[in-house]
Structure 1
Amino acid sequence: MAYNLGFKKHMLTGVSYMIPVVVAGGLCMAIAKIFGGAFVANATQTMPWFINQLGVLAMGLVVPVLTAGVAYSIAERPGITPGLILGFVALDIKAGFLGGMLAAFLVGYLILAIRRYLKLPSSMQGLMPVLFIPLLSTLIVGLVFYLFLGKPLAITQAAVIDWMSGLMGGSRMVLGVIIGAMMGFDLGGPVNKSASLFSNAMLAQGIYGPEAAKIVGGMVPPIGVALSVFISRRKRYTQAEIEAAKAALPLGLCFITEGVLPFAAADPLRVIPACMAGAASAAGLSMLWNVTSTVPHGGIFVIPIMGHPWGFVAALTIGSLITAAVLTLLKPVLKASDQLAGAEDEPEIDDFEISIK
């Protein structure tokens, strides 16, 4: 049995499974906000609230599905179950999608090692895929994450929030740039969450500028990446990415940053710097222009109730254009063969056989 060790192939396979989850979940949340407003999450037991809950639950599956997809690409079907479990572990320790990708590669290659080096009697070979592989890979990688990554992440997050609090007396624009860069870095991971927690803490103290910077910093990445895709289309992006961009734009407008995750997972070294550049510029301008927000979420739906709303719109536009420009410059022109990259790993209906006896 031959295994493809190419990192890009494995990431694209995981992304191909993740995209439908992001689209379904994100659009459910966007539809809920359209009909239920920015505070739909508080309107319990209403129809928009139920739709929003569907989206929230779907978004909780994004990292596990990505992790399982990458693990499947590396180790085939035995990688799916431990990949799902380790994806939830990455979420539990607040490691985000970058932690999920790390878990996927660790568990995938560990399964290959188990298959190669763990020799069992012939009478026990049947237990390998259903017992030994999922148990050992989940135990080993899961404990590594909990014992060695969980505490350092929590300590680092607390230290970052304290450091940002110390910047409140300095330049507003510098603080905004830092908030935006953190929002655009890991797109839901510990760095992003630190910026969000800090902004929410300032909101609770009656300081509303960081909250507006947080919102614009979270909206810019999906909007900017979508603009880059619409500008370049097949020249630099696959058909799957073009379709994903059609969902990323409305998700970004609704402050659902996860719309950019398929692009960041497939090409982090180009997408993340572009997202950081645009988000940092937008958040810095937002703070410079004294834009404020008294609510922590809502995207375009809360712009009318912001302080200096036109400043927010201008910062959002400038930041999105910067992300689009930087990413378009960084993205290489695709070869014809790359247009179908990852497509061969997507499941077809003929791949599954169902027999009833």
Structure 2
Amino acid sequence: MNVHIIKKHLLTGVSYMIPVVVAGGICMAIAKIFGGAYVGVAKGTIPYFINQVGAAAMIFVVPVLTAGITYSIAERPGIIPGIILGYICTDIKAGFLGGILAAFLLGYLINALKKLNLPRALKGLMPILFIPVISSLLIGLAFYLFLGTPIAILQDVILNWMKSLQGGSKFILGGIIGAMMGFDLGGPINKTACLFCNAMLAEKVYGPTAAKIIGGMVPPLGIALSVLVSGKRKYNKGEVESAKACIPLGLCFITEGALPFAASDPLRVIPASCIGSAVASGLVMLWNVTSTVPHGGLFVVPIMGHPIYFLLALLIGTIITATILYILKPSIKENIEETEDESELNSLDIKF
């Protein structure tokens, strides 16, 4: 099975899952803002009902993830079996790991069922009867009888390890997430870090999500600050104009705003982005900043846990990226002089 195809299916599932997490997370955050930390037990109040809406949405995180992956593999016939198996994985505590495995088993089983050579009278019943019943029954029984328990144990091990991290271990994990976010700025490595953080968010571990968000915000903001400080001494006119767009993009957690700079000068921009993002994400994890929402940038900071620490870490990471770029980037004047020196040397070449 091709790794790129697997990643495509996973990212499709995540793309369907994220709106569910956003809706649920924001509702729960709003409820806590108006109802306090114990809003979940304040029955009969408006904040309590808002929290209930958010909690209801979070129940469907794994089912929607599973259905999205199954849909990517087997198209429309995979949606209903995916929802069913996703709910089963939630019920037996197999979580996102179980949901992902169930989706792939379902998807390829459904594709095999599609190839069965049935009489014409029965073919019309395949998508509404045979496929959902057979696939849900076989994979569902497999999870209840064999697969569910070991996956649930593995899930508990991962979650307990995440929750047990303290001090330096938290900083290191955050640093790894941040460095991955800042390395290819929206590419496969960045998306891998996002997938891990979104999976942790689905299991109500909220620290990695804050690390992910800040890791994606630092590169464009750090580049913008570097251009603001250095100006036309180290950046050409086109880069100065592009940097203006980096500010809103960075604030909105759109890491791709840094791509033009990374493409034109990868040996300087990528290390600066990685280091700045790693420090900021490490600090966020160390300071126990949390986010119940996977996207939104500056707009979701007010509903984060410890938002002041998030903003402080963002400032530190941005300054680090800008400082490294300021040190590494040569001035344009030096570049011109080097070019002129090279042209003079070329003019002295002896031709036979």
Report the TM-score when normalising by structure 2: 0.52
- Say which of 133, 136, 159 aligns to 2:131: 133
Name the CA shift for 1:18/1:189 in 2 (closer, same or farther; >3 Å). closer
Name the CA shift for 1:162/1:67 in 2 (closer, same or farther; >3 Å). closer
Q: How does 1:1-357 map to 2 (within 5 A)?
A: 6-116=5-115, 118-156=116-154, 173-174=167-168, 176=170, 186-187=196-197, 216-217=207-208, 219-225=210-216, 246=252, 282-283=284-285, 285-286=286-287, 313=309, 317=313, 321=317
Alignment partners' CA distance in 2, 1:94 and 1:181? 29
- How far apart are residue 82 of structure 1 and its match? 0.3
- How far apart are residue 21 of structure 1 and its match? 2.2
Q: How many residue pairs are counted as aligned between the two chains?
A: 245
- How far apart are residue 222 of structure 1 and its match? 3.6
Q: Name the SS of the counterpart of 2:124 in structure 1.
A: helix
Name the CA shift for 1:99/1:321 in 2 (closer, same or farther; >3 Å). farther
Q: Name the SS of the counterpart of 1:45 in structure 2.
A: coil
Counterpart residue identity of residue 215, structure 2 = G
* Equivalence for 2:180: none
- How far apart are residue 47 of structure 1 and its match? 0.4
Counterpart residue identity of residue 173, structure 1 = G
- How far apart are residue 178 of structure 1 and its match? 8.1
Q: Name the SS of the counterpart of 2:37 in structure 1.
A: coil
Q: Name the SS of the counterpart of 1:38 in structure 2.
A: coil
Alignment partners' CA distance in 2, 1:31 and 1:23? 12
- How far apart are residue 85 of structure 1 and its match? 1.0
Report the TM-score when normalising by structure 1: 0.51
How large is the Cα RMSD of the aligned pairs?
4.9
Q: Name the SS of the counterpart of 2:86 in structure 1.
A: helix
- 1:304-354 CA-to-partner distances (Å, cap 9, x unmatched) read 8xxxx98xx2797279949x98xxxxxxxxxxxxxxxxxxxxxxxxxxxxx
Q: Name the SS of the counterpart of 2:125 in structure 1.
A: helix
Alignment partners' CA distance in 2, 1:316 and 1:95? 37
Which of the pair has the greater relative contact order for Cα pairs under 8 Å at 6+ separation? 1
Counterpart residue identity of residue 44, structure 1 = K
Name the CA shift for 1:105/1:126 in 2 (closer, same or farther; >3 Å). same
Instruction: Tell me if structure 1 keeps the 8 A contact 2:174–2:278.
Output: yes
Alignment partners' CA distance in 1, 2:36 and 2:15? 31
Where does the alignment leave 5 or more consecutive residues of structure 2 unmatched? 178-192, 224-247, 255-275, 290-300, 322-352
Name the CA shift for 1:154/1:62 in 2 (closer, same or farther; >3 Å). closer
- How far apart are residue 10 of structure 1 and its match? 3.5
Alignment partners' CA distance in 1, 2:138 and 2:278? 34
**Aligned residues: percent identity?**
48
Alignment partners' CA distance in 2, 1:229 and 1:92? 41
